[in-house]
Structure 1
């Protein structure tokens, strides 16, 4: 389908030789995520054994921590055909010599989710979608200018035919102060400890995953290293 040239490849095989060079945490992450595939993810708000910052807001008054968001099937679902539910808006994208309409269904709660994150975090979108498509979607999605940085397919690293998002392009070596939210674990296989899994969104208009996730991400400020929050998430 034509949309496959625009939107992230969400249907790549999970068995990847690249995984053999990843750490034990990555392999564990993959194993756990299979259990999340068709279930609702429960995001813990607290833990009992972390090292807590005495005053996290004071500590990060000048430098916000970073939340990196995937686009397709995380914030929106897009299709070249009329979806089975009401779509929120449409963008026009040039594919080869044709101008094609792309119908976009936004995930319930996305506006509130972005606004809540923007109060505490630097919000970045890192998508494997092409810029012509993704930039139009983000212009309509982020009318309040919460998203401070956008990265598209040309910023991805191709590994064994898969588009992988290298978080160091956003935060350099400061990986303890950043998390990525993505429905595709392959996307953050270079830094699996930073990945927050989320159930893929297609057309469930009763979906509440973003609002539940917002509460979890807001609680991450009490961790000295945000990757510890992910470990707690996967342990529950």
Structure 2
């Protein structure tokens, strides 16, 4: 009796150790009935029954006991009884198949509808763009495609229309952006000043109270009055749309100092960016100065004078300094402004360099005045001595 109890105790410890080692489900052992447990002991003892737990990792011995058979069958039955979502007759599997079928059907009809829409749009494009133009009498006008087959005519006319549209977007809207210079007896300013609107004269700002609005930069009035006619003809050349920029310019310039306004349609579209083409201004580039903060926004770098981009700071005095600089250039009657711009372009801050040059020029002028004054005083003193000498004689 004591030997049997000791064998059962050793069997239980060894079995639990084996279950933990090979990660077999522990419930398998608990599902064995007491009778099966005793049968396993009778057929093979502790060693026979424990060997079953090596079933999944070790090679099954040639002769097994009853407990081995029972446990192996139970493990296989548990594996077969696991739920599978793809089994036939399973409500969840049936519902999943229905949902997948519904998704496939929706995608199929979506692609069909998309194809029909694209085909219809393509057909309408060919019919509207590929048909020949009609004359006043309602008859088709003969062009270079009229002698070709009908399908080829429509295709080539559509292709030409698309190229024309692309060229219209990329090229300026006209070859001459400004009219010809004014003839005498009217006064044509000798220089042309081209100004960007956004972040040079105004800055867009959004708040909860006001929404989007444009702030006027300090010094705008000073710049327009000191650089307006008769020194410069002022042109606004901006990348903004006309319906956005037109009322802003009206508000900035109630006195009409800005002569011309050029908008986004007059720019040239290059490498994904709208560029101001100064060669289309119909003006001599030796007399043109363009003010912008973006170095890539102007086609002629030698005519571009870069200033700092305004971020809305109301203490900014850039336009005041710029007005003084431009007025100095105009009053100096420079023959080619590009030479002046080439010089100031070598500085990170052209306006700061201009201020320094102005300071040095004032110091030199003051020194010259002092020297002239000293010479005058010396001559006056000498003449007084000579006059007094002759009076004595």
TM-score tier after normalising by the smaller chain length: 0.5 to 0.7
Partner of 1:205 in structure 2? 314
Question: Any idea what the Cα deviations from partners look like across 1:174-208, whole Å, max 9, x if unmatched?
Answer: 100101000111111x2000001010012111100
Q: Which runs of 4+ in 1 moved over 4 A?
A: none
Q: TM-score scaled by structure 2?
A: 0.38
- Inter-partner Cα distance in structure 1 for 2:307 and 2:293: 5
1:109 aligns with 2:235: no
Q: Aligned in 2, Cα 1:213/1:169: closer, same or farther, shift over 3 Å?
A: same
Q: Aligned in 2, Cα 1:110/1:136: closer, same or farther, shift over 3 Å?
A: same
* Of 191, 211, 215, the match for 1:65: 191
Task: Give the aligned length.
Answer: 158
> Once the 2 structures are TM-superposed, how far is the Cα of residue 125 of structure 1 from its aligned partner?
0.3
Rg larger in 1 or in 2?
2
- Inter-partner Cα distance in structure 1 for 2:286 and 2:344: 16
* Of 258, 279, 287, the match for 1:147: 258
Partner of 2:233 in structure 1? 122
Partner of 1:193 in structure 2? 302
Secondary structure of the structure 2 residue equivalent to 1:204: coil
Q: 8 Å contact 1:171–1:178 — kept in the other structure?
A: no
Partner of 2:267 in structure 1? 156
Q: 8 Å contact 2:222–2:323 — kept in the other structure?
A: no
Q: 8 Å contact 1:108–1:205 — kept in the other structure?
A: yes
- Inter-partner Cα distance in structure 2 for 1:206 and 1:104: 16
Partner of 1:98 in structure 2? none
Q: TM-score scaled by structure 1?
A: 0.63
* Of 207, 218, 221, the match for 1:82: 207
Matches within 5 A, 1:18-57: none
- Inter-partner Cα distance in structure 2 for 1:113 and 1:83: 32
Q: 8 Å contact 2:196–2:291 — kept in the other structure?
A: yes
- Inter-partner Cα distance in structure 2 for 1:164 and 1:124: 16
Q: 8 Å contact 2:293–2:309 — kept in the other structure?
A: yes
> Once the 2 structures are TM-superposed, how far is the Cα of residue 62 of structure 1 from its aligned partner?
4.1
Partner of 2:345 in structure 1? 234
- Point out the structure with the larger strand share: 1
Q: Can you give the 5+ residue segments of structure 2 that lack an aligned partner in the other structure?
A: 1-186, 348-393
1:180 aligns with 2:290: yes
> Once the 2 structures are TM-superposed, how far is the Cα of residue 170 of structure 1 from its aligned partner?
1.9
Q: 8 Å contact 1:194–1:230 — kept in the other structure?
A: yes
> Once the 2 structures are TM-superposed, how far is the Cα of residue 63 of structure 1 from its aligned partner?
4.1
Secondary structure of the structure 2 residue equivalent to 1:186: coil
> Once the 2 structures are TM-superposed, how far is the Cα of residue 228 of structure 1 from its aligned partner?
1.0
* Of 209, 214, 218, the match for 2:323: 214
- Point out the structure with the larger helix share: 2
